[in-house]
Structure 1
């Protein structure tokens, strides 16, 4: 555990001479204890003589991520003026920030503390890898810079490797700021979740402008925040805008997140349409890492960053977090893709050779009850043709890369046969539609044996307000695909409750994202039982 750095003189007002209101405010921010008050009032060392901060630097909140049995990553980014290019800080200064982790939200029992440097090179972000914690328990954390105290965050470590507790997690995708509010994140923050998996399109690169149906856009947004994203400063400002959303900020504060990206964190379909724009890609990747609770191994090197990794949850579950965007071949030239030619090219890949080897080498090597793959796109076979038309597929899903899709299914089938995998489930996003599908072993035979399940999360806001006419038209997918159990265009997210006996998916939906008070409810629920590939029942 890191020791606190040396202190320097402080210009803070004396707590003893402060008025009662100021005293109560300091005590509340400090957790109400004497130790908390000492943390709030203790000065921090200056990394540079000009490194002054007059306004609250914790405007975009705190977050935690990638929990392990003995630790978790905690994050914040200093931004006293979050929508200014320099965030209101001197580009020549660094800032010492103290952090604490406690077993209680009032910080009576602090179990880890230290200090870290927020530098302009990383947009004043902090990624603190806290270790030495106990498995399977809640912790609270906070940061302090000078006389400013951050909001208190709540996080949770993963369980011990030999334990098998129940797990309650959520997964979500596709937050388009201009398309609507993020108030389903408010609902998620109230669900006492162990962890949130976010499966891509955390932000959109499109200009921030008022849509006929969508979020009300403030008229006084700084000009630098508004345009189509292209530069490092613009990507950084867009993250700041998103993280000023109170519901999103609170969801980060209440639970650890496990994140991977899709395409809009850079630009739409970039593996096809912007493959060689490496400077812009490097800027987008860098801003993503700076603004997410990710460890140092995920830090980009120019236009490359390794986001695929593994999250273990005792003997209950293993999550292989994949990157289906960065390494894939361009989409097929014809869209939708016919079931021939380029779609079936054995050399085309979704994961890339290195990531595919990494997954094959370790998949099923550790005995757990449930194997999840957390990735960006629809994995199940889905014929997107209209009634009685020839079979065609979306080129942007696994269907557009049939040979790569088959290798994935073969990996699952082989490990099921060898009893190295007991149950398989793929989690996805991207399509702005909740698809609930059985997974079949043969990508060319929709009547082949079941090997698992696939479910895509609704979008947080990208699908905009629910359109019942469009939703009825979408039901052609169910008529054309016997393995498809559900197709729904509501916005929302998914909750998954996991036990040794079964998993249950609750699809949380909202009718309107153009209003932040539209109620959230459960649109449908689906159950998978241990040892039974495919969904066994549903509740609508």
Structure 2
């Protein structure tokens, strides 16, 4: 039952909350609130408890939300027993209006993390929460339940690909400044590489060398890497400011993960993949404020969230549930393997989601009465297809600077032939006709780790939505670049749009195709790829999605640097998805 209303501290905005939260927590530590708490265990009463990694909330529903913290006597390596924590949820930051409370234990078996599903809350309401152990009090977090029934507007901040050694996580702070209500993380929340691995060239200078310094393989390794990421002040601020809905991509496990392995895993030399996967998923569920499936199966991460009558968000797993092994462009290019690779690529049985998840998604789409149907998932769904005459010179799997002159010639030849065909087709040479003929110069997806590598699976999802009369809005990450594309069936029918976010810190195409000016590269992609409307291939940022009943608008917001402690935000492209109301 709530305690009597007080005139203590009133905070009217998220931004003000962030500014004042530090001083509020300090004041509360010596205030009268302790009489309202259970007091924790005997050990908690006698030894100070540290909440080094802050607090977090996630997986909000209309009446509940997951609350998270990490609690220990000492730092990460210090020995510590289980710690009994009191938790509280209040309508105000002074905790004079407590609406829910209980106890939860930070267990060594869970890496000293603690999660609780705080229930009995009101829909569409902001709440404050904290954990208490004796006289030790966690930082205060702010969370929000999902709205129910009629809702006019929802604002989501969409993230992907946060590489600790690559730069600072300014993008997380910017989401708070932009007034986002909910954080959507589409994966690569951490990376698995060693200290000399991917995008680590500036790590020493930035003071961001990864821990442990070797590639992470064991449960202890993954826990340590999460602890380092969660010590980041920008990420702490994000988690303390709004609830997060998250799914993994590949780097929470290993690069280009599929259901039985990964590109960056050597079976035997790096343990068994099944053991590595189990360790990675256990650490993920320990450190993320995610509601574990009722079955207890850590792999079962797909789930839906209803934001009243405005939108239904369906979070998918395109990595480990059922994904078949990726086909490489090298396999398609080799005379020895091309026939078999093409047959695998075109197979109607080739799966990405798997039957169980696909049936679940179809049921969710059919049952939802919300205005917008949104898929939150990892990899690009739109058709990113490039003529083979170009792709053979510009293979993103193995970029060779020496091949760039030939690539530019191939691009110019194709675009010239296409221009002549549009204006004076009778002037085409036989060679140019061959360039435009899909039987002699077919288009292939440049990234076969994405849905382009699983065309039958993509068609099944899009056809399901189309047959239900429900246009899809798909959110994606993974590529470190920002994209806006149409979603089309194999026959060209438009059935939705895809909004893909850039990365938090991982480098994009600018690192691999730096010989192109950004504007030149972006114009080339838009010109070559039929369904592509927009590309930013050189800036880090987030996608701010603003939903109303009339439009779903994506605002791509970038930061000018991740290599300096100070930054400036840059408003990039905006695009509105407008469909007739049903």
Name the TM-score, length of structure 2 as normaliser. 0.78
SS at match of 2:165: coil
Alpha-carbon distance in structure 1 between the residues aligned to 2:509 and 2:347: 38
* Equivalent residue number for residue 308 of structure 2: 314
User: What's the CA shift for 1:478?
Assistant: 1.0
Q: Does 1:392 align with 2:444?
A: yes
Alpha-carbon distance in structure 2 between the residues aligned to 1:401 and 1:213: 36
Aligned partner (choices 60, 70, 73) of residue 67 of structure 1: 60
Aligned partner (choices 262, 280, 284) of residue 284 of structure 1: 280
Answer yes or no: is the 8 Å Cα contact 1:214–1:514 preserved in 2: no
* Equivalent residue number for residue 513 of structure 1: 562
Alpha-carbon distance in structure 2 between the residues aligned to 1:288 and 1:323: 14
Rate the CA distance shift 1:299–1:201 in 2: closer, same or farther, 3 A.
farther
1:158-237 equivalence runs, <5 A: 158-160=146-148, 162-209=149-196, 211-213=200-202, 216-218=205-207, 225-237=212-224
504-513 or 135-144: bigger deviation? 504-513
- Bigger helix fraction: 2
Answer yes or no: is the 8 Å Cα contact 1:474–1:487 preserved in 2: yes
1:383-462 equivalence runs, <5 A: 383-385=385-387, 386=390, 387=411, 388=414, 390-393=442-445, 394-416=447-469, 421=470, 423-442=471-490, 445=491, 448-462=492-506
SS at match of 1:288: helix
Q: Number of residues paired by the alignment?
A: 488
165-174 or 468-477: bigger deviation? 468-477
Answer yes or no: is the 8 Å Cα contact 2:39–2:45 preserved in 1: no
* Equivalent residue number for residue 494 of structure 1: 543
User: What's the CA shift for 1:359?
Assistant: 0.9
Please list every run of 5 or more consecutive structure 2 residues that lacks an aligned counterpart in the other structure: 2-21, 334-340, 391-410, 415-440
Rate the CA distance shift 1:457–1:79 in 2: closer, same or farther, 3 A.
farther
1:71-110 equivalence runs, <5 A: 71-79=64-72, 81-84=74-77, 88-90=78-80, 93-110=81-98
- In the TM superposition, what whole-angstrom CA distance separates every residue of 1:23-51 from its partner, at most 9, and x where no partner exists? xx9975354996535357x63223xx6x7
* Equivalent residue number for residue 473 of structure 1: 521
User: What's the CA shift for 1:353?
Assistant: 1.4
Alpha-carbon distance in structure 1 between the residues aligned to 2:510 and 2:172: 17
Q: Does 1:126 align with 2:174?
A: no
User: What's the CA shift for 1:191?
Assistant: 2.2
- In the TM superposition, what whole-angstrom CA distance separates every residue of 1:170-226 from its partner, at most 9, and x where no partner exists? 11100111111101111112222221110000000001358334574538x79x622
Alpha-carbon distance in structure 1 between the residues aligned to 2:443 and 2:278: 38
SS at match of 2:168: coil
SS at match of 1:68: coil
- In the TM superposition, what whole-angstrom CA distance separates every residue of 1:431-468 from its partner, at most 9, and x where no partner exists? 111110011122xx4xx221110111101011169667
Answer yes or no: is the 8 Å Cα contact 2:312–2:370 preserved in 1: yes
Q: Does 1:323 align with 2:323?
A: no
* Equivalent residue number for residue 139 of structure 1: 127
Answer yes or no: is the 8 Å Cα contact 2:485–2:532 preserved in 1: yes
Answer yes or no: is the 8 Å Cα contact 1:464–1:513 preserved in 2: no
Answer yes or no: is the 8 Å Cα contact 1:439–1:453 preserved in 2: yes
59-68 or 465-474: bigger deviation? 465-474
Rate the CA distance shift 1:28–1:75 in 2: closer, same or farther, 3 A.
closer
Q: Give the superposed CA RMSD.
A: 2.8
User: What's the CA shift for 1:123?
Assistant: 0.9
- In the TM superposition, what whole-angstrom CA distance separates every residue of 1:212-248 from its partner, at most 9, and x where no partner exists? 34574538x79x6221101111100000000110001
Answer yes or no: is the 8 Å Cα contact 2:285–2:292 preserved in 1: no
* Equivalent residue number for residue 507 of structure 2: 463
Aligned partner (choices 264, 271, 292) of residue 296 of structure 1: 292
Alpha-carbon distance in structure 2 between the residues aligned to 1:57 and 1:255: 22
User: What's the CA shift for 1:532?
Assistant: 8.2
Alpha-carbon distance in structure 2 between the residues aligned to 1:519 and 1:336: 43
User: What's the CA shift for 1:316?
Assistant: 0.3
Name the TM-score, length of structure 1 as normaliser. 0.84
Answer yes or no: is the 8 Å Cα contact 1:35–1:107 preserved in 2: no
Q: Based on CA coordinates, which of the two structures has the bigger radius of gyration?
A: 2
Rate the CA distance shift 1:102–1:30 in 2: closer, same or farther, 3 A.
farther
SS at match of 2:566: coil
* Equivalent residue number for residue 29 of structure 1: 26
Alpha-carbon distance in structure 2 between the residues aligned to 1:482 and 1:475: 12
User: What's the CA shift for 1:106?
Assistant: 1.3
Please list every run of 5 or more consecutive structure 1 residues that lacks an aligned counterpart in the other structure: 2-24, 534-540
Rate the CA distance shift 1:212–1:306 in 2: closer, same or farther, 3 A.
same
User: What's the CA shift for 1:473?
Assistant: 2.6
1:33-48 equivalence runs, <5 A: 35-39=32-36, 43-46=39-42
User: What's the CA shift for 1:56?
Assistant: 4.7
* Equivalent residue number for residue 358 of structure 1: 360
SS at match of 1:278: helix
Rate the CA distance shift 1:480–1:292 in 2: closer, same or farther, 3 A.
same
Rate the CA distance shift 1:392–1:376 in 2: closer, same or farther, 3 A.
same
